[in-house]
Structure 1
Amino acid sequence: MDLTMDIAQLSVGMHQQQAAQSLGIAVAKLAMDSGKEALELIEDTTASLDPNLGNSVDMYA
């Protein structure tokens, strides 16, 4: 076997693994950020609601 070819294959494999790991981390960060944004949107939406709205019904016409 050619030792030079084995080292080259090992190097390529390691770089591919590093790229895949970096991609996975980037996707995880993106998912975390979008989850935080969704939570903030829900909190903002519910905070703007009137807490007394819908508690009573006007029966007079």
Structure 2
Amino acid sequence: MDIAALSIGLSHGKVKQEASLAIMNKTMNHAEQNAASLLQMMNSSQVKAVQHVAQPHLGGNVDVSR
């Protein structure tokens, strides 16, 4: 059993795990910021504008014929 190779392998595994956790943490923070922004927009008086941006094809035409 090569102790040096085992130590290097464990070290690489630890670095990979720490990098993965750091990326996941940044992703979660970004998602929280997006959710907060979305909630702020939904609570604002610009709900109609937000809905129009999300679905611009709705509400543009009114059929008045019978």
Question: What is the TM-score normalised by the length of structure 2?
Answer: 0.66
Paired residues, what number? Answer: 46
Structure 1 residue runs without a partner (length 5+)? 47-61
Residue aligning to 1:41:
41
Amino acid at match of 2:7: I
Identity of aligned residues (%): 20
Q: Once the two structures are superposed, what CA deviation does each residue of 1:8-60 show, in whole Å capped at 9, x if it has no partner?
A: 000000000000000111100000000000011111125xxxxxxxxxxxxxx
- Higher Cα radius of gyration: 1
Q: CA RMSD in A?
A: 0.9
Q: Which has the higher contact order (CA 8 A, sep 6+)?
A: 2
| d(CA) in 2 for partners of 1:9, 1:42 | 49
Structure 2 residue runs without a partner (length 5+)? 48-66
Post-superposition offset of 1:5: 0.3
Moved over 6 A (4+): none
Residue aligning to 1:9:
9
Residue aligning to 1:59:
none
